[in-house]
Amino acid sequence: MPQLTLFADPGSKSLGLSPTKKVSTSASSSTGSASAVSKRKAAFTKKGDEPNLWELHHIQEDMAVLNKGQVSGGKRPRSSSSADGRDEKMKGQPDRTAKRHEPEGGGVAGSKDIKKHKNAYEIKGKIANEEDSARVDADPPLNQLIRLMEKGWKEVEKGECVVYWMRMEDMRVEDNTALHKASERAKELGLPLIALYVLSPGDYKIHDRSARKIDFMLRNLNHLKTKLHDLNIPLHITSYPKRLSIPRKLVNETFPFLGANHIFVNIEYEVDELNRDIATVKLGREKGIDVRCFHDRLVVPPGRVKSQAGKPMSVFSPWQRAWAKLLEKEPQLLNLSPLPQANDAAIRQNQRFAKLFEDQIPDSLEGFECTDKETMAEVWPEGTERAKEVLDRFLHTKARKSQIQLTSPLNPGAEPSSKESRVQAYQTGRNLVDGDNSSRLSPYLVSGVISARMVLNEAKKLGKGGNLESGRDTGLGMWVQEVSWRDFYNHVMSTWPRVSMGRPFLEKFADVQWEVNEEHLQAWKDGKTGFPIVDAAMRACNKRGWMENRVRMVSASFLVKSLMLDWRLGEKYFMECFIDGDLAANNGGWQWVASTGTDPQPYFRIFNTLTQSEKCDPNGDYIRYWVPELRHLKGKAVHDPSHHMPLNEFKKLGYPAPIVDHKRSRERALFRYKNVGEKEP
Kindly list the distances between the CA atom of residue 130 and the CA atoms of 76, 81, 273, 503, in Å, as whole numbers in the listed order.
8, 12, 21, 7
- Using CB under 6 A as the binding rule, whether residue 439 contacts ligand FAD is answered as yes
Helix orientation angle between 316-329 and 475-495, rounded to the nearest 10 degrees: 100
For residue 296, the minimal CB distance to ligand FAD (Å) is 15
Q: How far apart are CA 421 and CA 425, in angstroms?
A: 6
Considering the candidates 319, 380, 485, 524, report the single residue annotated as catalytic. 485
| Amino acid in the structure at residue 353 | F
Catalytic-residue membership of 458 = no
Q: How far apart are CA 385 and CA 369, in angstroms?
A: 26
For residue 640, the minimal CB distance to ligand FAD (Å) is 23
* Other beta carbons less than 10 A from residue 657's beta carbon: 11
- Residue number with CB closer to ligand FAD (3 or 424): 424
Q: How many chain residues bind ligand FAD (CB under 6 A)?
A: 29
Which of 300, 441, 536, 540 touches ligand FAD by CB under 6 A? 441
Which of 268, 270, 469, 580 touches ligand FAD by CB under 6 A? 580
Catalytic-residue membership of 319 = no
- Using CB under 6 A as the binding rule, whether residue 171 contacts ligand FAD is answered as no
DSSP letter at 204?
H
Q: Looking at 149-189, which runs of residues are DSSP E strands? A: 161-166
- Using CB under 6 A as the binding rule, whether residue 54 contacts ligand FAD is answered as no
Which of 185, 209, 440, 662 touches ligand FAD by CB under 6 A? 440
Q: How far apart are CA 45 and CA 122, in angstroms?
A: 29
Catalytic-residue membership of 626 = no
**Nearest residue to 404 via CA among 211, 534, 536:** 536
Paired with 263 in beta bridges are 163, 291
Strand order through the sheet with 290-294? 13-14, 235-239, 193-199, 161-166, 260-266, 290-294
Which of 117, 430, 498, 503 touches ligand FAD by CB under 6 A? 430
Q: How far apart are CA 193 and CA 235, in angstroms?
A: 10
Catalytic-residue membership of 514 = yes
CA-angle at 290, arms to 287 and 291, nearest 5°: 115
- Residue number with CB closer to ligand FAD (227 or 460): 460
**Nearest residue to 231 via CA among 167, 159, 158, 173:** 173
Residue list 495-554, contact with ligand FAD (CB under 6 A): 548-549, 552-553
For residue 239, the minimal CB distance to ligand FAD (Å) is 25
- Using CB under 6 A as the binding rule, whether residue 581 contacts ligand FAD is answered as yes
Cα atoms in the Cβ-side hemisphere of radius 13 Å centred on 676: 18
Considering the candidates 88, 131, 482, 576, report the single residue annotated as catalytic. 482
Catalytic-residue membership of 524 = no
- Torsion angle, CA of 54/448/151/270, rounded to 10 degrees? -10
Residue list 582-601, contact with ligand FAD (CB under 6 A): 582, 585-586, 588-590, 593
- Using CB under 6 A as the binding rule, whether residue 578 contacts ligand FAD is answered as yes
Binding site annotation covers 442? yes
- Residue number with CB closer to ligand FAD (199 or 456): 456
| Interface pattern 468-487 for ligand FAD (x via CB under 6 A) | --------------xx-xx-
Considering the candidates 323, 380, 590, 592, report the single residue annotated as catalytic. 590
Residues classed as catalytic:
482, 485, 514, 549, 567, 590
Query: What residue ranges bind ligand FAD (CB under 6 A)?
Result: 430, 438-442, 445-446, 482-483, 485-486, 489, 548-549, 552-553, 556, 574, 578, 580-582, 585-586, 588-590, 593
